[in-house]
Amino acid sequence: MKNIYSNIFKLNKKNLSKAIRYLKSNSLVVLPTETVYGLAGNAYSKKSVQKIYSIKKRPKLNPLIVHYHSIKDIYKDVIINQEFLKLYKELCPGPITFVLKKKKNTNICDLATANLKTVAIRFPNNKIIRKILKSIKFPLAIPSANKSSGVSPVDALDVVDEFKKKLKMIIDDGRSEIGLESTVVDLTNKTQILRPGKISEIQISKILKKDVFFANKNTTIRSPGNLKKHYSPGIPIKMNQKKIPFDGAFIVFGNKFKSTQNIFNLSKKSDLNEAAKNLYKIFNLIKKLKYKKIYVAKIPNKGLGIAINDRIKHAAN
Ligand code: TXA
Ligand code: MG
């Protein structure tokens, strides 16, 4: 069947060349990753990076993650250390982002890193984006493909809903495998987690053979994107609710509540992976159904549940 959306493309040889041509000429392309869909542009080009901030209406003080194919591509841009090497070896490509010190003579444009002395880098694990990263000679600055503070897209149609026809090319690879953004770990100073994700603090601690904790958001401003309202469907949210509400949507987890019309279950079988994959879909569905309030039942705060609760908490701000 032919796609009715003229800017959604499946990857074939022709479309791969087209995506590469766009990226080389400073245009933006939406690409799938294993976490969420991202809005990609040449990280070495001020023109491309400016377009990213402008289309997303993103505050200029919120830096972008720079995406690479593999470790051999990063030496000009960042200063690596032992901890990075250990984590890279075990976890990459994969859903983890590393904050490292930026090299003085890097080509990464200052705007991409919000003029910080650090850069966040990531090696996404998705066949399509890896093929593209391998075919170009520059890394890609890629935030999630949504307007600033909104919900990250987990399929191509989410992107169309958000930007209508503003974007020339969205490469479709079905539903994002994980559905939540990557874990962000700061390796520049004290090792700490700035944003929880699929890769847990326990996994990181094991690999580094030391305890690694979450950054205290009240005392540090290390991940600017984590500061304000974020990941938000734009509807008031109340967490840790025990009763089915009568005046809003109810997001639940597990089989404790029987299905009523206003119940949206993240995972009937209490599977946190499934819940992560469904969270943003459910946010968007509730928004489409025009609910005015969202209530959320308690979700176990362990493993991927930590990342799920983190996103709901930010959305509730
Ligand atoms: O899974 C992901 O990471 C997705 C996919 C598309 O790769 N990308 C993503 O990008 O979530 P974005 O822009 O939506 O979130 C990037 C986060 C923000 O919280 C930002 O503040 C933080 O990374 N960040 C970027 N550079 C940083 C830096 N130098 N120091 C601290 N935090 C940084
Ligand atoms: Mg984002």
Kindly report, residue by residue over 77-112, the tens digit of the pLDDT. 999 999 999 999 999 999 999 999 999 999 999 999
Kindly report, residue by residue over 123-164, the tens digit of the pLDDT. 999 999 999 999 999 999 999 999 999 999 999 999 999 999
pLDDT at residue 2 tops 60: no
Determine if the pTM surpasses 0.75: yes
130 Cβ neighbours under 8 A, 6+ residues apart? 69, 93, 124
What pLDDT does 219 receive?
47
Kindly report, residue by residue over 31-52, the tens digit of the pLDDT. 999 999 999 999 999 999 999 9
The alpha carbon of 68 and the centre of ligand 1 are apart by a number of angstroms equal to 14
* % of the chain with per-residue pLDDT over 90: 90
pLDDT at residue 227 tops 90: no
pLDDT at residue 228 tops 70: no
154 Cβ neighbours under 8 A, 6+ residues apart? 36, 37, 175, 176, 179, 277, 280, 281
What pLDDT does 231 receive?
85
Residues with Cβ within 6 A of ligand 1?
Answer: 33, 35-36, 38, 62-65, 97, 99, 113, 116, 118-120, 122, 124, 142-144, 181-182, 184, 194-195, 222-226
Kindly report, residue by residue over 288-303, the tens digit of the pLDDT. 999 999 999 999 999 9
Kindly report, residue by residue over 17-31, the tens digit of the pLDDT. 999 999 999 999 999
What pLDDT does 225 receive?
56
What average pLDDT does the chain have? 94
pLDDT at residue 222 tops 60: no
The alpha carbon of 143 and the centre of ligand 2 are apart by a number of angstroms equal to 6
217/179 Cα distance (integer angstroms): 23
pLDDT, greater one: 259 or 179: 179
Secondary structure (3-state) at 226: helix
Ligand nearest to the CA of 59: 1
The alpha carbon of 136 and the centre of ligand 2 are apart by a number of angstroms equal to 24
What pLDDT does 218 receive?
57
What pLDDT does 46 receive?
98
Which amino acid, one-letter code, is at 160?
A: V
pLDDT at residue 220 tops 80: no
The alpha carbon of 126 and the centre of ligand 1 are apart by a number of angstroms equal to 17
